[in-house]
Amino acid sequence: MSSRHSHDRMANAIRFLSMDAVEAANSGHPGLPMGAADIATVLFTKVLKIDPSAPHWPDRDRFVLSAGHGSMLLYSVLHLMGFPKVTMDEIKRFRQLGSITPGHPENFVTEGIETTTGPLGQGIATAVGMAMAEKALQARYGADLVDHRTYVLCSDGDLMEGVSQEAADLAGHLKLSKLVVLWDDNLISIDGATSLSGSTDQLARFAASGWATTRVDGHDPAAILAAIEAAKGAGKPSLIACRTTIGFGAPKKAGSEKAHGSPLGAEEIAATRAALGWEAAPFDIPSDVLEGWRAAGAAGQAHRTAWEARLAALPADRRAEFERTQAGRLPEALDGAIVAFKAKAAADKAAVATRKSSEMVLDAITPVVPEMLGGSADLTGSNNTKAKGAKAITPDDFSGSFVHWGVREHGMSAAMNGIALHKGLIPFSGGFLVFSDYCRPAIRLAALMGERVIHVLTHDSIGLGEDGPTHQPVEHLAALRAIPNLLVMRPADTVETAECWQIALETTDRPSALILSRQNLPVLAPGGAENLSKGGAYEILPANGKAQVSLFATGSEVSLAAEAKKMLEAQGVPTRVVSVPSFELFLERPAAERAAVIGDAPAKVAVEAAVRMGWADLLGSDFAFVGMTSFGASAPGKDLFKHFGITPEAVVAKALDRLKQN
């Protein structure tokens, strides 16, 4: 059997597994797996350094199927390569409840899948983060321990999405030479020919951003392999345009959008079998083909064991540090550093903006947690995410711990997901809260995947002042709180900021958003050893007597509530203040604990310089709200709080009004 014949049969195994699984599910996308089967066969059997028996081996190559709708390509390959959990039964249960073969690849469901894809553009941008992590870890641990590549298979749709272009710009700038993107250049998108909506010369476009580019016949395995080998030496990231035929092999539907997103149908499948000379029944893999694939799968083991020997030979402390950061465990010294920081902050009582508090926390913990890799979307001085002495990574030196992401919030957020997925580093960002809208598709994926990604979002209300409504978040707290599995924290002062940072770092199974003020805030939290923010809400100021009023507030409005408390108590109304750094953490507590925190004061008022949505889920219907009902305006922040009626006086008035009613 010639090598080409063997390749063809191995590729056809992907094609038939895919089309048959889609047919059985009566749902799915056969076009991409059939079109890109040759690319995948070359990549997985000749190029990728992976070991199916150790899917999480740290120095493996990464493969990202950015065009996630082609998931059957990946499941086929994982099965054929011998990933033990991806059984033929699972392939037969493609897209069924409880299978490990969902409609789009989900890394938290299927071992061997590096990231969750489907929303176009995310995969390639996530892969940029993986390649950054590799380069950063190699700078820290050396090429003996960290030396792998990141490969992406993407579609036209991926390249049309802006997020991919942000990521491509960054990858070119940072000279991520171990990133290779194979573009399934099939000239077809869902609506029909790609020429319906685009005429960009993608090779020229990527070359403009510092990529090596080339074009090959995507059905010529030798040409594909040669292009990949050339890419390895390019010294920059590479885009390989692979001209393919969508639905390759299907006599009537190949080359047409009809092959993209629905089952081919029994007749076309039969015709494809005839055309490609494939006699095996559905889900039956000829033994020569399976043997070929399994041999390729087994080849990775030697790489892994050699690497394990190198790891074992490391000095004990280096090895322990590598293994600790790979496992995502925090250093033991962190807790003490946070406790000391809080005690000092509570003693100093310096009124600073919580964005500044965050910088102070970073100064204190960055030396303790060297695996943190932070940055800012070109707002470094505003987000305060650069710790004292933190060095920025540059194209030629990745030993630093700070990233100048440029004005690319979306690309940044997706790349952060890639850094977290890669393991070994803890990514955090800097951005304005209002521009979390630019990041949402990637933040959502972080929440879905349950990755530790930390978004530092500053300038968190009308308090930012003169920049006006385009820059003033109003709905963003609610919109972020609506995302399942995202931890949203809005600390009230320097102490709570430290506590929220600690929670974000310790929370390994979901992303966090730290919502920070531009304006100065006094220190109110006690600063003891216990992390009070962990409960989501706690009484920060007790009433002077039996509470008649409970005030609930977050972030910058906690000190505003404290002012209102003073005024109410001056009028003889005992008032307590509850700080609510996190809705999610509070709502996760047992009902009795929540009731105790909410208390039984006859009047309840919530204060937050944002829309009301979400507060009723904490407090029921028996409360008044002081906050925003519209977009903001351009004026000094203090004028705006007055203009929009978010003042201690307004809180007092609402509290007294509720006392009268009750």
The tokens describing 147, both together, are: 């030396």
Phi-psi label, residue 265: left if phi above 0, alpha if psi -120 to 50, beta otherwise: left
The DSSP H or E segment spanning 131 is: helix 122-141
Sign of CA pseudo-dihedral 468, 474, 477, 479: negative
**Interacting residues with its own copies between 450 and 469 (CB under 8 A):** 465-469
**Backbone dihedral angles phi then psi of residue 144, each to the nearest 5 degrees:** -65, -35
Contact between 484 and its own copies per CB under 8 A: yes
Quick one: 173 or 534, whose CB is closer to its own copies? Answer: 173
Site mask, its own copies, residues 410-449, x = CB under 8 A? xx----------------------xx-xx-xx--xx-xx-
Residues 413 and 570: their CA atoms lie apart, in Å, by: 48
The tokens describing 178, both together, are: 């171990």
Binding-site member from 2, 3, 5, 97 for its own copies (CB under 8 A)? 97
Cα 288 to Cα 43, 151, 538, distances in angstroms:
19, 27, 66
Contact between 235 and its own copies per CB under 8 A: no
Residues 65 and 444: their CA atoms lie apart, in Å, by: 18
Contact between 298 and its own copies per CB under 8 A: no
The DSSP H or E segment spanning 555 is: none
Binding-site member from 139, 157, 280, 653 for its own copies (CB under 8 A)? 157
Q: Is 455 annotated as a binding residue?
A: no
List the one residue out of 187, 234, 499 whose CA is nearest residue 342. 499
Count of residues touching its own copies (by CB under 8 A):
111
Q: Is 422 annotated as a binding residue?
A: no
Residues 377 and 496: their CA atoms lie apart, in Å, by: 24
**Interacting residues with its own copies between 542 and 571 (CB under 8 A):** none
Beta pairing class for 192-193 and 188-189: antiparallel
Contact between 645 and its own copies per CB under 8 A: no
Quick one: 158 or 493, whose CB is closer to its own copies? Answer: 158
Binding-site member from 37, 446, 504, 640 for its own copies (CB under 8 A)? 640
Binding-site member from 18, 126, 202, 461 for its own copies (CB under 8 A)? 202
Quick one: 572 or 590, whose CB is closer to its own copies? Answer: 590
Contact between 119 and its own copies per CB under 8 A: yes
**Backbone dihedral angles phi then psi of residue 403, each to the nearest 5 degrees:** -120, 120
Q: Which of 23, 90, 134, 409 is catalytic?
A: 409
Contact between 169 and its own copies per CB under 8 A: yes
Would you give the distance in Å from CA 226 to the centre of its chain?
A: 33
Report whether 419 contacts 427 (CB < 8 A).
Answer: yes
Binding-site member from 217, 220, 363, 475 for its own copies (CB under 8 A)? 475
Site mask, its own copies, residues 51-90, x = CB under 8 A? -----------------xx---------------------
Q: Is 157 annotated as a binding residue?
A: yes
Q: Is 467 annotated as a binding residue?
A: yes
**Interacting residues with its own copies between 369 and 398 (CB under 8 A):** 376, 378-382, 392
**Interacting residues with its own copies between 274 and 293 (CB under 8 A):** none
List the one residue out of 493, 132, 542 whose CA is nearest residue 342. 493
Binding-site member from 136, 137, 163, 433 for its own copies (CB under 8 A)? 163
The tokens describing 170, both together, are: 């960054």
Instruction: Indicate if 409 belongs to the active site.
Output: yes
Binding-site member from 170, 364, 524, 624 for its own copies (CB under 8 A)? 170
The tokens describing 6, both together, are: 């063997």
Q: Which stretch binds its own copies (CB under 8 A): 161-169, 334-342, 498-506, 596-604?
A: 161-169
Q: Which stretch binds its own copies (CB under 8 A): 83-91, 96-104, 494-502, 599-607?
A: 96-104
In sequence order, the β-bridge partners of residue 514 are 456, 489
List the one residue out of 50, 293, 294 whose CA is nearest residue 150. 50
Contact between 536 and its own copies per CB under 8 A: no
> How many CA atoms are closer than 13 Å to the CA of 271, on its beta-carbon side?
13
Catalytic residues: 409
Give the residue numbers of the binding site for substrate: 29, 260, 355, 382, 459, 467, 471, 518
Give the residue numbers of the binding site for Mg(2+): 156, 186, 188
